[in-house]
Chains A and B, each alone.
Chain A
């Protein structure tokens, strides 16, 4: 009797301590989700032709109720951009979070591993020489090329890492080497290109949300929905990875297999996201940092928050790209780079103190 009552008290007490930890995290998730909804609506509203929030929301909810012009503006111009920002940002946030987890390195991001420059090279190849890796690509020539090269790059990173037994340093060094390789190849293509095509390459390299159409967006979105549950199933194992490889292994985690599996998943995720819109830096680096500062590294909260955070950051960048100069839309990649570089430098300088 006494002991069972005792047990009851203890259970609720440990649960209470646990709730103290998770309650705060649920709050951050909720707040960021609300902020994201607001940002997406703001993104739809922002643009050269004025649109009220009420009009926008009404047109989204029931397209039939709006007049033709408003419907066209919302459904053909604003919403595709806003939803592209949402899905691409989310993909980059998720991929960045897992990349930092499996590499144990706070400076890891889809860019550190050369995946982005590989995608850029694939795209440039298609633009400049019209060369595709797939025989029948048609209008998908550029994104498909970008996708294949992005995957190829992470595969090479992995093979190199395997040769030297997958220390995180090897992975990062291989990534940096590949980044330089593809950057030089891109430079070479630019040199060879006619001025028109050069312009197209430069334009592609600065990611732009206007490029994606609804079918593209559907691909990015569904991929995100497929990948997340797979990652979520390994949430605890991935969290345990952050205790160091030895500890994780002694807890029964097959560390190398887990790393490979997650690396392949997030490479594909990154490749899918950037092949339609081009290079967008900073999101995959910043979102995980912010998420980690707010909710720590319990993957059940860290990955969702980094995902929402990535979407939020890119939506804000999208709004900014339309409102800095009235009537001019900058490529969103330019905006994220401008915010990203000081952020990256401050990370490098503060690394030891706080972020990791």
Chain B
């Protein structure tokens, strides 16, 4: 599968957030980085059809805008940045909702089966009977990830999926996403802040800066000291660790004169 974004421009009322974004994304992990409020979330919402931008987004040649809500829901799995936690549902029920388009009054064995399988894959099967309201932020994030994975989507859009997770879970989740992306040939687009995690897991990195794509390509070619200074305003040392992955060590903000 291949996703082509052509001349995407988006404005909230009069504030233009994204301008003339051109991207080609294939079956791999693409990580979108950029400072706060640059438009990462907006870009993901445009791709999943929640926002209607100008320009074109083509999935294997077909305009995403022509998908019905139901079709889009079968193809695109979206993990929102903000996770709503005040709902009186058990984890099993909440994750089951990821299968919304196939749920009937009587829940099928298949749907239950997939749900439990995904919970096990994420190591949270033990939470199945707990209420969402009794979970920690990180547990809730895992539940939301499970909700997206049960959809079995072809396109996986995740907005800061690891922001609430501890170190071990960050690595485990990203490894799992990477494995699924490979095995199922998914188009995975992840917005995140941690440059070192991005360097380790991304096949491609897209850097957004002032509403445009500032740079894109392999982690090693994109994550350079110059790019980081220009986009984040931070002096950083970039070395290469034992695995050949760029390692970024932030030193100081360019605003600090001393």
Contacts and interface: CB of A to CB of B under 8 A. Distances in A.
A244 B84 contact: yes
Interface in A198-252: 232, 235-237, 239-240, 242-244, 246-247, 249-252
Contacts of B74: 252
Interface string A285-300: 0000000110011101
A155 to B, nearest CB: 26
B50 A300 contact: no
A239 B129 CA distance: 17
Interface stretch (A15-23, A144-152, A172-180, A268-276): A15-23
B97 interface: yes
Contacts of B116: 10, 13-14, 17
Contacts of A356: 86, 88
A240 B88 contact: no
B210 interface: no
Which 3 residue pairs spanning A and B have beta carbons closest together? A252-B73, A244-B84, A14-B116
Interface string B69-91: 11011101110101110111110
B194 interface: no
A253 to B, nearest CB: 7
B44 to A, nearest CB: 10
B162 interface: no
B21 interface: no
Interface of A: 7, 10-11, 13-15, 17-18, 20-21, 232, 235-237, 239-240, 242-244, 246-247, 249-254, 292-293, 296-298, 300, 356
Interface string B129-172: 10100000000000010010001000000000000000000000
Contacts of A20: 129
Given A20-B129, A242-B89, A254 B112 contact: no
Contacts of B69: 249, 252-254
Contact of A239 (B73, B97, B115, B128): B97
A235 B97 CA distance: 11
Contacts of B131: 296
Contacts of B83: 244
Most buried by A among B69, B80, B88, B90: B88
A251 B95 CA distance: 12
19 contacts: A10-B113, A14-B109, A14-B117, A17-B112, A21-B92, A21-B129, A237-B100, A239-B89, A239-B93, A243-B87, A244-B83, A247-B147, A250-B73, A250-B78, A251-B73, A251-B98, A252-B74, A292-B88, A296-B93
Max chain B C-beta neighbours (<10 A), residue from A13, A237, A250: A250
A11 B112 contact: yes
Given A18-B107, A21-B92, A242 B100 contact: no
Contacts of A246: 45, 50, 78, 80, 82
